Amino acid sequence: MCLAIPAEVVAITEDKQTATVSLDGVRKDISLALLTDVTEGDFVLIHVGYALNKISPEEAERTLALMAELEEVAS
């Protein structure tokens, strides 16, 4: 099973090949090779360092809330 995590794009390189995303203050550089229309402020699903697709801020919020809930249950 694969898991993609939503994160907000906070910076994009000039060549638009990579971006920096933020998730709970943790920043990570990711590849944009699979997407063409990403801008700063967008939310993307990330898997193994690649942005797979864009999602709405509402969907990102719901997904992150569910993940936090699962973490609480597992603890």
Q: Do residues 11 and 28 touch, judged by C-beta distance below 8 A?
A: no
DSSP type of residue 17: S
Tokens matching residue 53:
């697709």
Q: Where are the domains of the chain?
A: 5-74
What pLDDT, in 10s, does the model give residues 20-51? 999 988 999 999 999 989 999 999 999 999 99
CA–CA gap between residue 61 and residue 19 (Å, rounded):
20
- One-letter amino acid of 65: A
- The CATH class for the domain spanning 5-74 reads mainly beta
Total-model pTM? 0.89
> For all residues of the chain together, what is the average pLDDT?
94
